[in-house]
Structure 1
Amino acid sequence: MTGGDMWVSRRAAAGLLLLALLFSLVLLGPLVSPSGWDETDFAAFHEGPSARHWLGTTQSGRDVFALTLRGARTSLLVGLFVAVASTGLAAVIGAAAGYAGGRVDRVLMWGADLLLVLPSFLVAAVLAPRLPGGLPVLMAVLAALMWMVTARAVRAMTVSLRRREHVLAARFLGVGAPRVVARHVLPHLASLLAVDASLNVGVAIVAEGGLSYLGFGVRPPDVSLGTLIAEGQGTAAAHPWPFAFAAGLLVLAVLAVNLLGDGLRDAFDPARGGR
């Protein structure tokens, strides 16, 4: 193994390890926390760390440790769902356009181009608060605005793959288009889709955090890292715990998925990884 390969594998392993630690903290932390995220201690407003409240309390008496773990769980859930959904949508639309060609290709790519010229963040900020459904609708809106660039890459690769002998043979034997795409096209795109999904987790987390910070994302009584950062920034100088812990988890989550995504991308592209 060359030095470049070792660096790639170490970077991917570091991202995967950090991501596993974050998920472990988010899933197991509430089990050992002295307080629940939705509990209010009316005898502890804006208190510092203590045996009862490990990272102190907010100005409304809520436990910072439990509250931030709840927010991190929400943000990670949004990131994972949006990444998988947007990459899956890109795979389906791109493969359909590239394999079918003709009018189907033109219509699907016209739709992708139309969405690409729209300011995605502003569209999400306008749509998400006005549609009923809360968090699931927010995730659906984000996923619907993140698939276009990858769909174009999938389409280009599908156009090339559909001319290969094994694909032509399957079509000649009368195999249906969905089965040909599923068995002979999409497996060749697995590396592209895996890298895209991993990197999209970070993009989705940041997008949700930004929307929630501005009041367009996660709605009370639920919380996310974005809402906690917005709530804690006003008192960050005198009482840093609510702001610092949420901001730190947000940075670590994005760093973890970016390390994993970059490591996977370089592993699938030896020329890039060896630089």
Structure 2
Amino acid sequence: MANDNLNQSETAEAHLDLDPKDEAVADSVLAQESEAISDSNKEEGEFKRTGRMTLYVRRFMRRPSAVFGLVLLLVLIFFALFGSKLGKYRYDDIDFAALASAPNADHWLGTTSGGSDMYAMIVHGLGRSLIIGIVSSIGTTILAAIIGTSIAFFQGWFERVGMWLLDMLLVVPSFLLIAMMVRSSSGMSGWIWLIFGLVVFGWIGYARVLRTLTLSLRELDYVRAAKFMGVGSFTIILRHLVPNLGSVLIINTVLGVVGAVGSETSLSFLGLGIKAPDTSLGTLLNDGQSVILTAPWVLIFPSIVLIMLTFSVQLIGDGLRDAIDPYSRSAGKAQ
């Protein structure tokens, strides 16, 4: 109590010794500082941190070629989904009065030598190629991500056996096996077997790449901490390792569509892929190469659509790579 009284008396004496003008100035300065602190806190409270996905979208949209590729791909998807509503014929309709007919008012893109409407066949073929490319690319990415990260995570004998299996699978003639699977199928199920074959044999090389990237991730502190806390191995793989490879997975999934469409086109062009009555861009190219002199539109129009598809996806992939890569300056500043 004595100390409190002494402090209060010293404070009172100091207050009495202060010049009234100086006291007014001090109060004014304190009021200004208090207001400045309040404004600063208010501004900090209103500050919103830019999310990662928002940052990626902004960087992607700053690249004109990527935006053009996205718009072009959306137009092609819209054409594949609703283009059949505009035409007069279905892809399996045959007009015997117009065999190998040039483009005209009735058949906008002409007809094949068998009388099928080229417009309707391109719409259906584009949709089939898109389905095969997108589904097989997603399936390949999922398999490669899980198997590749698992091989790197478990280490020891599991990693040695896993790498040995990957090396053995790389020498398997996948192109030939996929062709045999599709050829042995019947009817309209050929495209399903083609997707299955592309997924089963398409993840192997990709898994090796992801395994190499995971070697550095498995040594990080949060992975070690999760192991120490008893978190399950597959939980760590699915929650920590695979998401941290997200940028690589997204880019390779998009670019994988081009590879899958190319594989489907190659097989169908050689007569080893999609079979009639179903059709794809590859089968249309196969039909067109035999009549290129007499009916060039059978080859030209599917070729243009295929080039547009692969070109748009390639532009999107380049844009995503530049948007996600923190060291890329091609998309401008982050903010």
In the alignment, what sits opposite 1:178?
A: 234
Deviation track 1:26-64 (CA, whole Å, cap 9, x = no partner) reads 111101111111111122111122222111111111111
2:118 alignment counterpart: 64
Rounded to whole Å, the distance in 2 between the matches of 1:154 and 1:6 is: 24
Instruction: Please say which of residues 122-131 and 151-160 is displaced more in the overlay.
Output: 122-131
Aligned to 1:215: 271
- Of 283, 291, 296, which aligns to 1:235? 291
Counterpart CA distance in 2 for 1:169 and 1:242 is 61
**Structure with more relative contact order (C-alpha pairs < 8 Å, separation 6 or more):** 1
5+ residue gaps in structure 1? none
SS in structure 2 opposite 1:229?
A: helix
Q: How many angstroms apart in 2 are the aligned matches of 1:205 and 1:211?
A: 10
Code of the residue aligned with 1:67 in structure 2: it is: M
Q: Write the distance in 2 (CA, Å) between the matches of 1:253 and 1:188.
A: 29
Q: 1:237: Cα distance to partner? A: 2.4
Match of 2:27 in 1: none
- TM-align CA RMSD: 2.1
Q: 1:21 — aligned with what? A: 75
**Mean Cα deviation higher: 141-150 or 17-26:** 141-150
Correspondence for 1:49 among 97, 103, 123: 103
Instruction: Letter of the 1:135 partner, please give it.
Output: W
Give distance in 2, aligned partners of 1:43 and 1:63.
Answer: 12
Summarize deviations over 1:93-152 as a string: whole Å, max 9, x none: 011111111222222222221222334333433443235652111111112222123212
Corresponding pairs, count: 272
Task: State how far apart, in whole Å, the 2-side matches of 1:107 and 1:127 are.
Answer: 28
* Equivalent residue for 2:141, pick from 83, 87, 90: 87
Cα separation, 1, equivalents of 2:117 and 2:181: 32
Q: Which has the larger radius of gyration?
A: 2
Structure 2: how far apart are the matches of 1:29 and 1:131?
A: 28
Amino acid at match of 1:190: G
TM-score normalised by length of structure 1: 0.91
TM-score normalized by the length of structure 2: 0.76
- Distance in 2 (alpha carbons) for counterparts of 1:115 and 1:11: 37
CA contact 1:98–1:155 (8 Å) conserved in 2 = yes
Aligned pair in 2 of structure 1 residues 273, 111: CA closer, same or farther (>3 Å)?
farther
Q: Which residue of 2 aligns with 1:151?
A: 207
Give unpaired runs (5+ residues) of structure 2.
1-54
- Structure 1's 125 and 273: CA in aligned 2 closer, same or farther, altered over 3 A? farther
Identity of aligned residues (%): 39
Q: What per-residue deviation string (whole Å, max 9, x for no partner) do you get for residues 3-30 of structure 1?
A: xx78972232222111111101111110
Question: Quick check: 242-251 or 44-53, which moved more?
Answer: 44-53
Say whether residues 1:260 and 2:319 are aligned partners: no
